[in-house]
Every structure is written in structure tokens, then in C-alpha cells.
């Protein structure tokens, strides 16, 4: 949280992203730090692929629940065919 406070964020928080962070296991203190962080002034922020974020969130929840093989499967299936974007 100190990093968030010190460095700020390079994206804008919205309700959808906040819900995905909660699903992934973000703690209330992390969510509060992100909510208090100043969003970027310029429009230079990266635009995440809206289809990719729910899969990453689901994989994070699986990892938090120690379902590592399922998390790997989720990420592998998500990134397959999309690797050139990243």
C-alpha cells in the first residue's frame, strides 16, 4: 500500500475493476489505497483488454484458494492465441 501511495497508479479505478480485484482477493486496505490514489492526469494509461481481466481475476482467486493447476489452465487458455498482444 505504501507503493500505491508513493508511486500512484497508471489506471483509473472503476466499479468493474474493483469487483475483479475483490474476486482476486484484494484486501480492504489495498482497495482503500487504490481508491485514494490519484489517477493519471494524462490519457497515457494502458487500456486493458476487457475480455482478459476477468480471466486474470479468476486465476488469482484460484491461486489464492491453492488451486494452482486450475489457475494455470485458466491463464493458459486465456493467453493462447493472444500472446502476441503481450
Domain ranges for the chain: 1-45, 48-86
Percentage of the residues of the chain whose pLDDT score is greater than 90: 24
Please compute the mean of the pLDDT values over residues 56-65 and round it to a whole number.
90
Residue with grid cell 489457475, as numbered in its chain: 71
- List pLDDT tens digits, range 28-52: 999 999 988 877 766 555 666 777 8
Closest CA to 9 of 48, 52, 51, 41: 41
Please compute the mean of the pLDDT values over residues 60-84 and round it to a whole number.
84
Cβ neighbours of residue 41 closer than 8 Å, sequence gap 6 or more: none
Amino acid at each position: 500500500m505504501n507503493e500505491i501511495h508513493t508511486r500512484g497508479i497508471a489506471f483509473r479505478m472503476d466499479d468493474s475493476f474493483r469487483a475483479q480485484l475483490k474476486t482476486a482477493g484484494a484486501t480492504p486496505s489495498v482497495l482503500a489505497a487504490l481508491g485514494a490514489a490519484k489517477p493519471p492526469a494524462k490519457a497515457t494509461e494502458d487500456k486493458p483488454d476487457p475480455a482478459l481481466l476477468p480471466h486474470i481475476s479468476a486465476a488469482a482467486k484460484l491461486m489464492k484458494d491453492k488451486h494452482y493447476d486450475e489457475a494455470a489452465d485458466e491463464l493458459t487458455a486465456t493467453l493462447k492465441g493472444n500472446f502476441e498482444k503481450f
